[in-house]
Chain A
Amino acid sequence: AQSVTQLGSHVSVSEGALVLLRCNYSSSVPPYLFWYVQYPNQGLQLLLKYTSAATLVKGINGFEAEFKKSETSFHLTKPSAHMSDAAEYFCAVSEAGGFKTIFGAGTRLFVKA
């Protein structure tokens, strides 16, 4: 069975500071890994995904994530936070070619001026 653990339900950073959102996964087969973002009162949209090509994945809005198999991690980073990054972020896992995507509990990012 696959599962996702996101460390920290809330993260607060100052504008311009580094953003680091942590995600660890469990999967018995090579996984596809995703980060989705949800802005207030909206649905989720894809931020980036890993599908066994490059281990460092770049997404939209300056975010990137690194797949580390030895640590079963897929942490999301952004060098400099912007006020518009305030949202909830979800890490997710699925099997390559599969149809079931399992989500983590989410991390709400607050950005202080």
Chain B
Amino acid sequence: NAGVTQTPKFQVLKTGQSMTLQCAQDMNHEYMSWYRQDPGMGLRLIHYSVGAGITDQGEVPNGYNVSRSTTEDFPLRLLSAAPSQTSVYFCATQGRGQGTGANVLTFGAGSRLTVL
């Protein structure tokens, strides 16, 4: 059982280039989200999705696009990378469980992106 899989683990881009960070889950969770982690700022929510075909903006959505065509996949697209997008990106999922599983996020291992 792989859980949440993120690819690539590392990526270096030049300013203006585009790329897609992939996130795939095999837990049949309806909710998926993308966070970025920067020193001293914790994790900030970029975009999230509550199901296939439904996405919404989080705290820091500018410069990023998402789509959710299947339950399993939630890619994050950078259309024109900027140095300010240098960060570690985490994908997370959440099921509709009750009790001990309610609202608990399961994270991927992260993708470290450097924009030169």
Q: Which residues of A contact B58 (CB under 8 A)?
A: 100
A43 in contact with B109 (CB, 8 Å): yes
Binary flags per residue of B31-47, CB closer than 8 Å to A gives 1, else 0: 10101000011111100
Residues of chain B at the chain A interface (Cβ within 8 Å): 4, 31, 33, 35, 40-45, 48, 50, 58-59, 90, 92, 94, 100, 102-105, 107-110
Assembly CA distance A87 to B78 (angstroms): 30
Which of A12-20, A70-78, A89-97 lies at the interface with chain B?
Answer: A89-97
Pick 14 A–B contacts, CB within 8 A, sort by A. A34-B104, A42-B110, A43-B4, A43-B109, A49-B100, A90-B42, A97-B102, A99-B31, A99-B48, A99-B50, A101-B103, A102-B59, A103-B42, A106-B40
Q: Which residues of B contact A56 (CB under 8 A)?
A: none
Assembly CA distance A102 to B42 (angstroms): 9
B102 in contact with A102 (CB, 8 Å): no
A43 in contact with B107 (CB, 8 Å): yes
Apart from A43-B108, A106-B42, what are 17 other A-B pairs with CB-CB below 8 Å? A32-B103, A34-B103, A42-B109, A43-B109, A43-B110, A44-B90, A46-B105, A49-B104, A97-B102, A99-B48, A99-B94, A101-B45, A101-B94, A102-B45, A104-B42, A105-B40, A106-B40
Assuming A43-B110, A100-B58, is B102 touching A32 (CB within 8 A)? yes
Question: In the assembled complex, how far is the CB of residue B33 from the closest CB belonging to chain A, in whole angstroms?
Answer: 8
